Structure 1
Amino acid sequence: MTLWRRDTDSSDRTEPRVYIRAFVQPGTLDDAIGFYERLLGVEADLRTPYPEKGLSLATVGAFLIIEGDDETTRPFRATHGTLLVDDVAGYLERLAAEGAVITDPPIDVPTGVGFTARHPDGTVVEYVHHRPQPHER
């Protein structure tokens, strides 16, 4: 599976896109995509392997589907949700000013760059900025 997505760059987003995380076992990603497409009446708009973490990802509407076994998904289950944002740098600054803790600093991910923060109320959120990859330009 190669990276496929409808929108390759989130830089022009005027507001974050919120993703609810759904975790599925290996070999069930296609079934999960079909379920959410039928449920929401929309098509998947992202599908990508994440080999560095042993995962495969897809988005359908407001759902981020994460395929992996119990061991590989364990570190990701503590995160309450994902926000697709226009620029992670701005969020890093605002979160620091508001007393949030950056639990995982910015790293390159298959779709661009992302980091994870724990908000003052304990909510853990992944922030991701999609950027075009070389094969998408």
Structure 2
Amino acid sequence: MTLWRRDNDSTHRTEPRVYLRAYVPPGGLEQAIGFYERLLGVRADLRTPYPEKGLSLATVGAFLLIEGAEETVEPFRATHGTLLVDDVAGYLERLEQEGAEITDPPVDVPTGVGFTARHPDGTVVEYVHHRPQPHEV
């Protein structure tokens, strides 16, 4: 599977896109994509391997599907959701000013850059900025 997405740059977003996370066992991604496409009446708009983490990802509507073995997805289960944002730098700065704990600092991910923060109320959120990859320009 290679990186495929309908929109490769979230810089133009005027508000974050919220993703609910759904965890899928190995070999179950195609079935999960089909289920959510039928349920929501929309097509998947992102498919990407994340080999550094042993995962495959897809988005369908408001769902981020995360496929991987249980021991591989376990560290990700503590994250309550994902926000696709226009630029992680602004969110990182505001979160630090508001007393959030940056649990995973910004790092390059297959779709751009992302980081994870624990909000003062305990909510754990991944912030991701999609940017075009060299083959998408």
**TM-score of the two chains, using structure 2 as the length reference:** 1.00
Structure 2: which 5+ residue stretches go unaligned? none
Tell me the equivalent position of 2:102: 102
Task: State the SS of the aligned residue for 2:11.
Answer: coil
Structure 1: which 5+ residue stretches go unaligned? none
Name the aligned partner's letter for residue 104 of structure 2: D
Q: Distance in 2 between matches of 1:126 and 1:75?
A: 13
Q: Distance in 2 between matches of 1:124 and 1:47?
A: 24
Q: Distance in 1 between matches of 2:62 and 2:21?
A: 9
Q: Distance in 1 between matches of 2:95 and 2:83?
A: 13
Q: Could you tell me how far 1:112 is from its partner in structure 2?
A: 0.1
Name the aligned partner's letter for residue 123 of structure 1: T
Answering whether residue 22 of structure 2 is matched by residue 22 of structure 1, we say: yes
Cα RMSD of the aligned pairs, angstroms, is 0.3
Answering whether residue 84 of structure 2 is matched by residue 84 of structure 1, we say: yes
Q: Could you tell me how far 1:32 is from its partner in structure 2?
A: 0.1
Q: Distance in 1 between matches of 2:28 and 2:73?
A: 14
**For residues 114-136 of structure 1, what are the alpha-carbon distances to aligned partners after superposition, in whole Å with 9 as ceiling and x for unaligned?**
00000000000000000000000
Q: Distance in 1 between matches of 2:53 and 2:111?
A: 14
Q: Distance in 2 between matches of 1:109 and 1:93?
A: 20
The share of aligned pairs that are identical, in percent, is 85
Q: Distance in 2 between matches of 1:28 and 1:101?
A: 33
- Moved runs in structure 1, 4+ residues, more than 4 A? none
Q: Distance in 2 between matches of 1:128 and 1:34?
A: 24
Name the aligned partner's letter for residue 83 of structure 1: L
What does 1:11-90 align with in structure 2 at a 5 Å threshold?
11-90=11-90
**For residues 45-70 of structure 1, what are the alpha-carbon distances to aligned partners after superposition, in whole Å with 9 as ceiling and x for unaligned?**
00000000000000000000000010
**For residues 73-95 of structure 1, what are the alpha-carbon distances to aligned partners after superposition, in whole Å with 9 as ceiling and x for unaligned?**
01100000000000000000100
